């Protein structure tokens, strides 16, 4: 249905914009109460190996990571800019939708230099929860698995 | 051109910035260090379990193939065609009976020997190689191999020390502990840091920075300098083993020490304590056990996460950290999940390691324009390079530079070793 498709587009638009704005609380609100978020190097996915760069198999671990980012971690001072391609619906099972979307993240440093930081594919399962759509499971399949410098802010 | 006169002291408590930024030295390092008598970690036996299995890796910037032949023997050689210097094997891993360069299809066996050249006799009696061409003189340069419990190391020097002699008892004991069962690869990760490889090599030997740069360690009570721990080295002080014992300090002592140093000590708690939960595994309480092997191999246990890191220089100004995440073959499903969760701690996005990428880049960037400037290495005092039973020190960095100076032919007379 056209209305549902627009809600899906809104979800992806919000996803990138909230990370780029550094509004991680609002970003966390895009995930379901029971959720998983992981960043898997393409190298591992192709070899069938499970280890991720980020492996949040529960909402608690995801929230811990965001708290650590705020409270403890130090990283390159930068801005992110997400470019997310149109989401492609792979399967719509009614209660849950499987979606893929390409992404590119550019990083800019505080002296104004920009570079391509990461590109890859989101593989997502999305459910309706509360008022809107939420990510039940988000796997970031990372093509740029030779991570430039370090990976702190979410992809 | 660097000479022994470059060192202002004989105990390496000062290191001139130019050693990180000199292109000529960088080339000499490839010859004298990486392709010299040192041993470098190449791969694990379990990564090439079957005949024909191969992996591509590096020693310094030199591309290497390690593979297993039909009889089960492991060989390693330079991944560069004897004909025109092209990469022979382009894939990172796979299974093959031989290795053929795509450029002119020169073909090499799993022992690196040149097996076939297309049109060697030409066509119709015309062209081809001269009759005297010696196939046996045009194989791929082989490395001497040796393994510790299934961890393969290679060296370019036929006359090098044995691997056991090279490692010395302290590190060898730790590698036996680390690899005390059959391993299982959980995955790989890579990080490209815009800094000279030696700044990273220093970082892995620097116990002083750990709980200061990596605030997560203290904030969430995983690793503090108040724990019982220290460093052991080999007799030549080129390698180091850094350890700490879990639960060996009190909350109160830690709060006091960090408070007195005006360092944040308001500990926070995690929603998922498994991230920092430690299950002892080897009949000891070590929750930090990091072995660095000169020049560029690191074996890291932080809590229950385990990894091997290869430090791969990519020119003067960039280094790739290639990390193999590990478990044991007999791990339960719960333990594997625990290790995957604790993989969050390490690597380019690691909660206790991401800062290294930034620290190395800012040290590299700011030191570059002033090559006569000096770094200060004096935690734990100068003078003798020796084992320590405390944690606030950076002594193994001086050991690294001492052996570096020797191999590079810039060791001053009377220098400590």
Q: Is the pLDDT of residue B364 over 80?
A: yes
Q: What is the pLDDT at residue B263? A: 82
Q: Do B93 and A75 touch (CB under 8 A)?
A: no
Q: Give me chain B's average pLDDT, please.
A: 95
Say if residue B114 is in the same domain as residue B70. yes
The mean per-residue pLDDT over the stretch B328-357 comes to 96
Average pLDDT of the residues in B351-373: 95
B109, pLDDT greater than 80: yes
What domain count does chain B have?
Answer: 2
Are B77 and B225 in a shared domain? no
Q: Is residue B284 part of a domain?
A: yes
Backbone angles phi, psi at B396, to 5 degrees: -65, -20
In a shared domain, residues B114 and B173: no
**Contact yes or no for A149 and B220 at CB 8 A:** no
Report how far residue B65's alpha carbon sits from residue B270's, in angstroms, rounded to the nearest whole number.
43
Closest-CA residue to B409 (of B22, B17, B28): B28
Query: Using CA atoms, how far apart are residues B325 and B323, in angstroms rounded to an integer?
Result: 6
Residue A33, chain B, CB below 8 Å: the answer is no
Per residue in B92-103, pLDDT (tens digit) is: 999 999 999 999
Does A76 lie at the interface with B, CB-CB under 8 angstroms?
Answer: yes
How close B95 gets to chain A, by Cα (Å)? Answer: 13
Q: Tell me if B1 is assigned to some domain.
A: no
Between A and B, how many CB-CB pairs are < 8 A?
126
Percent of chain B clearing pLDDT 90 (strictly above): 89
Domain end, chosen from B146, B176, B191, is at: B146
Residue B163 domain-assigned (yes or no): no
* B214 and B281 both lie in a single domain: yes
- The answer to whether B351 contacts A57, with C-beta atoms less than 8 Å apart, is no
What is the per-residue pLDDT across B24-45, written as a single tens digit (0 to 9) for each?
999 999 999 999 999 999 999 9
Q: Record the pTM.
A: 0.96
The answer to whether residue B220 neighbours chain A at the CB level (below 8 Å) is yes
Asked, for residue B210, whether it belongs to a domain, the answer is: yes
Residue B239 lies in a domain: yes
Say yes or no: B129 and B205 in one domain: no
Contact A53 B340 (CB under 8 A): no
DSSP structure class, residue B273: G
CB within 8 Å: B349 and A151: yes
Question: Is B160 a domain residue?
Answer: no
**Pair B103, B194 in one domain:** no
- Give the CA-trace dihedral at A81, B359, B41, B109, to 10 degrees: 40
Number of Cβ within a 10 Å radius of residue B294: 25
Closest to B378 in 3D by CA, of B367, B357, B393, B359: B393
Q: A60–B272: do the CB atoms touch at under 8 Å? A: yes
Kindly indicate whether the ipTM for this predicted assembly is greater than 0.85, answering yes or no: yes
Is the Cβ of A68 closer than 8 Å to some Cβ of chain B?
Answer: yes
B268 touches chain A (CB under 8 A): yes
Q: What is the pLDDT of residue B1?
A: 66
Contact B187/A71, CB-based, under 8 Å? Answer: no
Burial of B168 (0-12, 13-18, 19+ CB in 10 A): buried
User: How many alpha carbons fall within 13 Å on the CB side of residue B259?
Assistant: 8
* Domain shared by B179 and B287, yes or no: yes
pLDDT per position as a tens digit, B126-176: 999 999 999 999 999 999 999 999 999 999 999 999 999 999 999 999 999
Same domain, B175 and B283: yes
The full set of domains in chain A, from first to last, is 2-142 (3.10.450.50)
Q: Is the pLDDT of residue B222 over 90?
A: no
Domain of residue B86, residue span: 49-146
Query: Is there a domain that residue B29 lies in?
Result: no
The answer to whether residue B393 scores a pLDDT higher than 70 is yes
Task: Convert the pLDDT of each residue in B228-246 to its tens digit.
Answer: 999 999 999 999 999 999 9
Helix, strand and coil content of chain B, in percent to the nearest 5, comes to 25, 25, 45
Residue B196 has pLDDT above 70, yes or no: yes
Q: Could you tell me if B277 and B401 lie in one domain?
A: yes
User: Which of B241, B214, B245 is closest to B229 using CA atoms?
Assistant: B245
> Are residues B135 and B258 both part of a single domain?
no
CATH number of B69's domain: 2.102.10.10
Q: What distance in Å separates the CA atoms of residue B107 and residue B386, rounded to the nearest whole number?
A: 50
pLDDT tier at B216 (50, 70, 90 boundaries)?
confident
Alpha carbons B113 and B140: distance in angstroms, whole number: 6
> Domain containing B390 — which CATH number?
3.90.380.10
Task: Return the DSSP state at B31.
Answer: I
Q: Are B325 and A72 an interchain contact pair (Cβ–Cβ within 8 Å)?
A: no
What's the whole-number mean pLDDT along residues B4-12? 96
Residues B203 and B340 grouped into a single domain: yes
Q: Do residues B398 and B307 share a domain?
A: yes
The model's pLDDT over B257-284, given as tens digits with 9 standing for 90+, comes to 888 888 877 777 899 999 999 999 999 9
Q: Is B275 on the interface with A (CB under 8 A)?
A: yes
Q: Mutate which of A147, A151, A154, A155 to test chain B, going by most B C-beta atoms within 10 A?
A: A147
Chain B contact for A50, CB < 8 A? yes
A75 touches chain B (CB under 8 A): yes
Full DSSP string of B303-367: TTEEEEEEEEE-STT-EEEEEEEEEETT--HHHHHHHHHHGGGSSTT-TTTHHHHHHHHHHHHHH
Task: Report the C-alpha gap between B258 and B391 in whole angstroms.
Answer: 14
pLDDT by residue for chain A (155 residues), tens only, comes to: 566 899 999 999 999 999 999 999 999 999 999 999 999 999 999 999 999 999 999 999 999 999 999 999 999 999 999 999 999 999 998 889 999 999 999 999 999 999 999 999 999 999 999 889 999 999 999 999 999 999 999 99
Of B87, B111, B146, at which residue does a domain stop? B146
């Amino acid at each position: 249905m056209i209305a549902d498709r627009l809600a899906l587009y809104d979800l992806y638009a919000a996803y990138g914009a909230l990370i780029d704005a550094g509004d991680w609380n609002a970003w966390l609100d895009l995930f379901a109460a029971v959720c998983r978020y992981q960043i898997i190097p393409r190298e591992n996915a192709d070899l069938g190996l499970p280890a991720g760069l980020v492996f949040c198999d529960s909402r608690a671990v995801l929230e811990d990571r965001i708290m650590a980012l705020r409270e403890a971690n130090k990283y390159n001072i930068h801005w992110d800019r997400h470019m997310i391609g149109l989401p492609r619906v792979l399967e719509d099972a009614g209660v849950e939708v499987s979606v893929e979307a390409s992404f590119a993240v550019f990083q800019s440093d505080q002296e104004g230099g920009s570079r391509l930081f990461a590109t890859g594919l989101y593989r997502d399962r999305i459910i309706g929860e509360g008022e809107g759509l939420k990510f039940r499971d988000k796997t970031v399949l990372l093509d740029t698995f030779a991570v430039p410098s370090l990976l702190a802010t979410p992809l | 051109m660097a000479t022994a006169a470059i060192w202002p002291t004989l105990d390496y408590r000062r290191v001139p910035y130019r050693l990180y930024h000199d292109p000529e030295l960088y080339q000499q390092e490839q010859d004298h260090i990486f392709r010299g008598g040192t041993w470098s970690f190449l791969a694990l036996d379990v990564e090439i379990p079957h005949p024909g299995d191969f992996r591509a890796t590096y020693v310094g910037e030199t591309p290497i193939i390690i593979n297993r032949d039909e009889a089960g023997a492991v060989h390693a050689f330079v991944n560069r065609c004897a004909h025109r210097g092209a990469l022979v094997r382009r894939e990172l891993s796979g299974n093959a009976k031989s290795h053929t360069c795509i450029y002119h299809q020169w073909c090499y066996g799993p022992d690196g020997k040149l097996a076939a050249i297309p049109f060697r006799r030409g066509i119709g009696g015309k062209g081809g190689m001269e009759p005297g061409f010696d196939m046996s003189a045009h194989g791929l340069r082989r490395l001497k191999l040796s393994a510790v419990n299934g961890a393969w190391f290679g060296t370019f020097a036929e006359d090098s020390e044995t691997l056991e002699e090279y490692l010395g008892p302290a590190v060898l004991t730790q590698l036996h502990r680390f690899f005390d069962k059959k391993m299982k690869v959980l995955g790989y990760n890579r990080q490209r840091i815009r800094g000279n490889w030696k700044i990273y090599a220093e970082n892995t030997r620097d116990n002083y920075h750990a709980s200061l740069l990596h605030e997560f360690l203290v904030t969430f009570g995983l690793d503090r300098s108040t724990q019982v721990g220290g460093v052991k080295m080999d007799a030549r002080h080129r390698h180091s083993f850094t350890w700490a014992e879990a639960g060996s300090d009190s909350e109160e002592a830690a709060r006091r020490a960090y408070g007195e140093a005006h360092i944040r000590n308001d500990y926070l708690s995690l929603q998922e304590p498994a991230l920092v939960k430690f299950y002892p595994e080897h009949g000891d309480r070590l929750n930090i056990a990091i072995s660095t092997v000169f020049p560029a191999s690191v074996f890291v246990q932080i809590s229950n996460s385990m990894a091997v890191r290869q430090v791969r220089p990519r020119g003067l100004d960039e280094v790739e950290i290639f990390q193999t995440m590990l478990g044991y073959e007999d791990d339960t499903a719960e333990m594997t999940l625990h290790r995957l969760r604790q993989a969050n701690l390490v690597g380019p996005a690691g909660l206790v390691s991401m800062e290294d990428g930034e620290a190395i880049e800012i040290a590299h960037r700011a030191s570059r324009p002033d090559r006569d400037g000096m770094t200060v290495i004096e935690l734990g005092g100068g003078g003798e390079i020796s084992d320590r039973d405390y944690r606030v020190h950076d002594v193994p960095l001086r050991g690294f530079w001492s052996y570096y100076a020797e191999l590079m032919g810039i060791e001053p007379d009377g220098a400590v070793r």
